[in-house]
Amino acid sequence: MNSLHLDYKNVDKYINNEILKEEVSKNKKLIENCLKSKASDSDSLGWINTYHCNDEDMLTKMESKAKEIRENADIFVLIGVGGSNQGARTVIKSMGDSKVEILYAGNNLSPAYLKNIMEKLKGKSVYVNVIAKNFATLEPGITFRVMRQYLEETYGEKEAANRIIATGSLNGSSLEKLGKMKGYTLLPFPLDVGGRFSVLTPVGLFPIAVSGVDIRKLLAGASEMEKTIHTTDIYKNDVVNYAVIRNLLLKKGYNIEILGVFEPLMEFFNKWWVQLFGESEGKDGKGIYPSSCSFSEDLHSLGQYIQDGQKILFETFINIEDMESSYPIPLEKEDIDEFNYLNGKDFSFLNRSAYEATVKAHYEGGIPVLTVNVPKLTPFYMGQLFYFFEVACYLSATILGVDPFNQPGVEAYKINMFKTLKA
């Protein structure tokens, strides 16, 4: 099949087609309302119509600045945390090497980490993209202070301003004020899009463009997924079935979902997905705990628990059907290492065998297993994946009965921390 698709045959021990259909019927109105929603329906749905992201002037502006950076920079520093860096980092890390070295800053408060980054900048041509919806977030805010002082000292105020791109809320935020005062390139962080839903807006698109990935292909994939979701019968709709199945599993006591990948290039996708579902659903004492594994490595650690521990978790695998990469196993005449049974085979075959063996073992061991099949690891299919999970999350949280778009829980530690910091 030439599109992302869900396989749920391995939940049949727990949820059969009848139960699934019944549950979709029960939530039909709710689901239809969600699927019908438009960006203008709320101040958090700006991401739902992909044509919003396809603004030609904005795309051209971003592509041209990104080209300048690719031509002039040795290092591009992306300052941001949570929804402000996860989407871009996912695509950049999964699509292979960028010509410009990309460093991630402002996503922690470690002095050792920052020192290491600052050391790397010495003698290099540096550009910085600071991204913050709410410029009050401590990690990116204070890291940007360090970084802009460094750029101003190194290049002088005017050239530093040319090397700084600020992506923020253009509603009088302090980042916007700073940008206007200093003359930075300003990109909008759409007011009606929360960080974890922002990858297909300038928040994610600009740094992705800097890495050389074609952002138009990413958007084309998302638009295609949007079309598919809107033209598929509700009972045969993968995004609906995924959202409904995970809520049914939760009711049956499967409180944890593990997103499993068999491709290390996708490890940052896991992180993006964890934030999306964690902040959207984990509230009011409800929600599936989203976790993730990178296999085959984690088969040698968490694999034990998944197979044999408490039956409280289910898995969703991202299966890249054709990784378009291979590495043949070298032949050896003498079988001293005792691996000659693999002579003539390829690493892609090993990885696939490990994946299939894992799905079988976990399924037979009592773990409900879902699979999202993705034809290839390309920008187009990444766009499909992002949009699929964003809509799935919106639907799933709505069925669960929580507000997908707030995150009141993250404030508690901040209150304590600011008490200490401001004392």
Cβ atoms < 10 Å from Cβ of 353: 11
Q: Which two tokens stand for residue 333?
A: 């005449």
- Catalytic residue list contains 414: yes
**Shortest Å, Cβ 79 to ligand G6P:** 9
Burial of 172 (0-12, 13-18, 19+ CB in 10 A): exposed
Q: Which is nearer to ligand G6P, 195 or 204 (CB)?
A: 195
Interface residue with ligand G6P among 46, 83, 204, 368 (CB under 6 A) is 83
Residue 376 makes CB contacts below 8 A (sequence gap 6+) with 320, 321, 322, 323, 324
Q: Which is nearer to ligand G6P, 223 or 407 (CB)?
A: 407
- CB of 24 within 8 A of CB of 396? no
Whole-number Å distance between alpha carbons of 19 and 252? 13
Interface residue with ligand G6P among 44, 84, 241, 319 (CB under 6 A) is 84
Q: Which is nearer to ligand G6P, 35 or 132 (CB)?
A: 132
* DSSP β-bridge partners for residue 293: 260
**Shortest Å, Cβ 46 to ligand G6P:** 15
Q: Which is nearer to ligand G6P, 17 or 406 (CB)?
A: 406
Q: Which two tokens stand for residue 220?
A: 């084309």
Show contacts with ligand G6P in window 139-178 (CB under 6 A). 140
**Shortest Å, Cβ 277 to ligand G6P:** 12
Q: What is the DSSP letter of 220?
A: H
Show contacts with ligand G6P in window 391-410 (CB under 6 A). 407, 410
Q: Which is nearer to ligand G6P, 94 or 107 (CB)?
A: 107
Q: What is the DSSP letter of 376?
A: E
Whole-number Å distance between alpha carbons of 31 and 192? 21
Whole-number Å distance between alpha carbons of 356 and 130? 42
Cis geometry, peptide bond prior to residue 296 (ω within 30 degrees of 0): yes
**Shortest Å, Cβ 120 to ligand G6P:** 23
Interface residue with ligand G6P among 82, 190, 204, 278 (CB under 6 A) is 82
Q: Which is nearer to ligand G6P, 83 or 368 (CB)?
A: 83
Q: What is the DSSP string of 261-320?
A: ES-GGGHHHHHHHHHHHHHHH--TT--PEEEEEETTGGGGTHHHHHHHS-S-EEEEEEEE
Q: How far is CA 167 from CA 81, 129, 144, 153, 210, in A?
A: 13, 7, 12, 22, 14
Whole-number Å distance between alpha carbons of 307 and 69? 47
**Shortest Å, Cβ 371 to ligand G6P:** 28
**Which range, of 76-84, 111-119, 122-130, 227-235, touches ligand G6P by CB under 6 A?**
76-84
Q: Which two tokens stand for residue 200?
A: 């297909």
Catalytic residue from among 300, 333, 419, 422: 300
**Shortest Å, Cβ 382 to ligand G6P:** 19
Q: Does 279 bind ligand G6P (CB under 6 A)?
A: yes
Binding mask 29-68 for ligand G6P (x = CB under 6 A): ----------------------------------------
Catalytic residue from among 176, 279, 281, 390: 279
Q: What are phi and psi of 63, to 5 degrees?
A: -65, -35
**Shortest Å, Cβ 136 to ligand G6P:** 7
Whole-number Å distance between alpha carbons of 66 and 141? 23
Alpha-helix residue ranges (DSSP H) falling in 27-85: 28-36, 56-72
Percentages (nearest 5) of helix, strand, coil residues in the chain: 55, 15, 30
Binding mask 192-221 for ligand G6P (x = CB under 6 A): ---xx-------------------------
Binding mask 112-141 for ligand G6P (x = CB under 6 A): --------------------xxx--x--x-
Whole-number Å distance between alpha carbons of 31 and 171? 33
**Which range, of 75-83, 309-317, 325-333, 372-380, touches ligand G6P by CB under 6 A?**
75-83
Q: How many residues bind ligand G6P (CB under 6 A)?
A: 14
**Which range, of 82-90, 152-160, 292-300, 352-360, touches ligand G6P by CB under 6 A?**
82-90
**Shortest Å, Cβ 411 to ligand G6P:** 8
Q: Which residues are catalytic?
A: 279, 300, 414
Where do contacts with ligand G6P occur on this chain (CB under 6 A)? Answer: 81-84, 132-134, 137, 140, 195-196, 279, 407, 410
